[in-house]
Amino acid sequence: MLTMASALLGFLIAGIASSTGLAEKLASIAAPIAEAGIHPALSPMPILYLVSPKAAHALAAAELREGRVEPVDVYIAYLASMLPLRLLYMYRFYIPVLVPLLGIIAVEYIAMRSALDIALAATAVLLGRRRRRGDPAPVHGCTPPPRRGRLLDGLGRGMRLYLGFAARFTLAYLVVALLLATGAMRMLASCLNPALSLLGVDARGAVYIATAVASPRAAYGLARVLLDTGYPGQRLLGCMFLGNGLFAALNESWTRTLPFYTSIYPRRVALTLLVIGVGSAAVYDVTLGVIILRLTT
């Protein structure tokens, strides 16, 4: 229910932004971002990520559907949006919740996790500048209709996008629910235990990682308990990265992200975005977690 409500808000924001000229105003504010290599039509995407990632993707999907941008332009804008997404997490969860809960361990986690987002943003700049080299400056179109008409048109456009999303997302979610009901996650968790023992993860660390695969936020509460009972902070940091990476690869990618992407993007674009965003984060987190655990064994 929360996902559907946030998606509705995101599509309405995207529809209004596109129809009222707000997207063009954001694009003018984000001119330095466009100069960094993002397609001008998608330059509001990193800014929208600070408010609603779903609104950012709804805007990108609409531009792609109407033929104003190509898939590679969406990929570059998405890469550049990883850093604003990290900032969104910081002011919504990391600073008010995670830092008071875990202290210096949380600060180390945020710093190491942000390094990937900075690298992805730098990659977007390099790829975008190379792709857009020599492109003419964007020329804005005709004068928009009266404000009330634009607002109503934006609401209608957003609602149409949402209805299309809701139908496809519901179908995908039902498939995921069926897989969960068959015990696929329980089988997966049982398969993880031998692999975790090979990495030198002790019993308490394994409990944390198994919890994180189901819910990282629930695992953060367990992390506080582990610290209070003398669990080494650096080993906990390794478990945090490993748990979050496995959550992204085994849970979030196919229960949340893929159903949303496939409901608004063409299938190939959706899968590519999944690899770029969730795939890179999962590989980075798991690799860093394994390295930290090896160094602290």
**Token duo for residue 90:** 């910081």
Sequence length of the chain is 297
Q: 214-254, pLDDT tens digit by residue?
A: 778 778 888 888 898 999 999 999 999 999 999 999 888 88
Q: Which amino acid is at 135?
A: D
Q: 24-57, pLDDT tens digit by residue?
A: 555 455 445 555 678 888 888 888 887 778 888 9
Regarding pTM above 0.85, the answer is no
Residues whose CB falls within 8 Å of the CB of residue 53, separated by 6 or more in sequence, listed in order: 10, 81, 85, 88
- 38, 79 contact by CB (below 8 A): no
Whole-number percent of the chain with pLDDT over 90: 30
Residues whose CB falls within 8 Å of the CB of residue 160, separated by 6 or more in sequence, listed in order: 15
The average pLDDT across 135-150 equals: 47
Ranges 23-27, 167-171, 236-240, 293-297: which has the least confidence: 23-27
Ranges 100-109, 161-170, 187-196: which has the least confidence: 161-170
Of 201, 175, 160, residue with least CA distance to 58: 160
